[in-house]
């Protein structure tokens, strides 16, 4: 029987005009410290962003989303945050901020298959 993994996840959002507080869900970050799992799935729907702000800088938004991926993967070109331990990276990624890219508060869950759970959360909240 497979072990249940206690994980945390947060929804990644784009808030093109921070002062209006309108957002589009664009991804999911999932972390299980015990099994050393930190995954992210991202999909930027440009049409939804443009509906909230026709002048949104999609290139800048896309570059910033790529940095979230690099940090999750611990890639060398992800900057100093990518070199932190897994728990610290997750906390940094999900820290409260008032910028164009934000996350929800982390939520807990149980999973027997973390990759499958990441995909399910992505389909439910983003797609």
| Contact by Cβ (8 Å): 82, 75 | yes
d(CA 9, CA 12): 10
Q: Which domain holds residue 35?
A: 5-125
Confidence check: pLDDT of 1 > 70: no
Prediction pTM value? 0.90
User: 2 or 91: which carries more pLDDT confidence?
Assistant: 91
pLDDT for res 99? 87
| Contact by Cβ (8 Å): 67, 79 | yes
User: Tokens for 64?
Assistant: 């910033």
Segment 39-49, tens digit of pLDDT: 999 999 999 99
User: What is the phi/psi pair of residue 80, to 5°?
Assistant: -65, -30
Number of domains in the chain: 1
């Amino acid at each position: 029987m497979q072990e249940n993994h206690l994980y945390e996840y947060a929804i990644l959002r784009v808030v093109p005009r921070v002062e209006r507080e309108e957002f589009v869900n664009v991804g999911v970050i999932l972390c299980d410290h015990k099994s050393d799992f930190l995954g992210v799935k991202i999909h930027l729907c440009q049409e939804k962003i443009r509906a909230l702000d026709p002048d949104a800088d999609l290139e800048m938004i896309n570059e910033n989303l790529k940095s979230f991926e690099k940090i999750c993967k611990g890639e060398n070109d992800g900057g100093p945050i990518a070199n932190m331990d897994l728990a610290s990276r997750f906390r940094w990624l999900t820290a409260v901020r008032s910028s164009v890219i934000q996350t929800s508060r982390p939520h807990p869950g149980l999973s027997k298959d973390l990759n499958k759970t990441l995909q399910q959360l992505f389909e439910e909240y983003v797609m």
